A and B are shown apart, each in its own frame.
Chain A
Amino acid sequence: MIPETRAPLQWRLPPVAVLLTAVVLIGCAEVGGASMVRFKVELTRWARHAMLARPATHGLVGVRDVDERVLDEALVKFDAGLRLFHLHAEGMGLVIIATTTIAATLAGSPASRRPIIVLLTVGGAGYPLGYLVWSGLIPYYGPERGKTVAEWLVWTPFGGATIVALWWLAGLVAWRMMRRERG
């Protein structure tokens, strides 16, 4: 039996600004979810009105049997965007807290710890907003073009930042484990 000589891990909290960002994001998710339910009719009416004002954008042909199907699809996606914002903002708030706590504890060097925490916070907080942007763009640009804009403006940069930071963190944790095994 080999006695345990390693010191127990001391968990460190991430900076207050990071925690505040995560809490605000979760708060936005809750307010967004509640507003989505409370103002469902008003939101749907606004989106429908905005789409009817742009028939060429949505490919409306002036025949109810054809146009209703197009409008219904766009409205379903508009609603889906709001739901996905609620879902992702809740989830990413928790992801920010969990991953930045790990980074603050296990990333020893400030040179790597700081950028990882910044990337995780900015990426995690920005990514869910892409769904809100997508929803807002649907009445003006249509579901597909709106999705492309949201991808380039929000999902790709912010989601990319989170992915890079997570891989960086995973690499650091793996490196630390290997060093401990060898030491």
Chain B
Amino acid sequence: MSQVPQKSDSFKDREDKLIDDAINQDYKYGFVSDIEQEIIPPGLNEDVIRLISSKKNEPEWLLEWRLKSFKNWKKMIEPTWAKVEYPPIDFQAISYYAAPKEKKKLGSLDEVDPELLDTYNKLGIPLEEQKMLSNVAVDAVFDSVSVATTFKKELAKHGVIFMPFSEAVQKHPDLIKKYLGMAVPPADNFYSALNSAVFSDGSFVYIPKGVRCPMELSTYFRINASQTGQFERTLIVAEAGSHVSYLEGCTAPMRDENQLHAAVVELVAHKDANIKYSTVQNWYPGDKEGKGGIYNFVTKRGLCKGDNSKISWTQIETGSAITWKYPSVILKGDNSVGEFYSVAMTNNYQQADTGSKMIHIGKNTKSTIISKGISAGKSQNTYRGGVKIMKSAENARNFSQCDSILIGDKCGAHTFPYIDVRNPSAQMEHEATTSNIGEDQLFYCNQRGISTEDAVSMIVNGFCKEVFAELPMEFAVEAHKLMEISLEGSVG
């Protein structure tokens, strides 16, 4: 009789449909904006660096800093230890500077190209201050330059500096000179050296002593031009006793080519200061065949310089063809605290190699690593973490938890925890789990009338709950939605 084939057919059809829906779901942010741009032709040499520096009217010391970084970079080799595979990158085929053409220096938002404002509106980021629903100040970086920073006046009242990096170089050269490269020295690694040579713009944040920043600060990065790389640089300095929460979001158009994004983020927390840095990374991940997508090679590091300081990284990584990223904390001050909360979701042919490093130097320093990896499709998802307890770090403590969940049987999850303890008083805890979204879980949910799609979303959100709880409210909602889109129909 044929009843049963009918039953399984209808079930299978439905699953297939779910998968199709997901595959056909466009990357929502994949549009290209038609904006007149000024682009330096592809290629990298000292002249290009001089040109970038002169376009930004930079002081001599900064040009020297760039050129020195470039010299270092030329001697370095691309790292190959990450568990990611991609064809060699031709660094001479990339353009290192693209900027929307501007008539004059922008004084206010009214003077920003309407097409640009429209782009950000499409992305759901209204820059007009009166439209801001929540208490978030936004800096928008379009390709290589920062185009708008909101709430400047309000922030200035509290002495908070939040402005494009290139503007800060002009207005606060002493601060930049003092802190640039403090957490991430130019020669730290291949990509940080490249960034240090060619970085174009980014955000600079300075929170004065004892100030609790009155609003969330946010930077929105957008790659628009083709064949260009984006090399932004973010520097956040929190003086003694200050607090700041910073959000970072990113998207890019859909393109067949791979685009390079090699950013550097540096955080410096003085005594009793507290920096919370949250990222929702949604660069274009490539199509379902693995064509196109952003290569996201990012160096992020925080320095807990003073005693009792705290730096907390939270990241939701759903985009990019390749992610290579290890937000880290150097715990130099006594009693300082470092945290890393991460959700990395990969689908189709995405590859992510991400994790954290915690370097304990001061006494009674404490770090926490919570990493949640979700792999679907044919993707590869790797956690790589390093915890180092130096000899000086009396009574250091670390807790690491790395959980992976697999959806389907064609993806992979890998965990590489490195631990280096040089002080016997250290307390280390490491937990790791890998699980599948089980057929039994889905059957259980279905039997209660909950659809497969809702069940997967429920299970994954439950899996990521600890990390989502760390996000500021506005981002938590966005993260939930993003996960749902990235997950839709990933069960087959």
Does B bind A? no
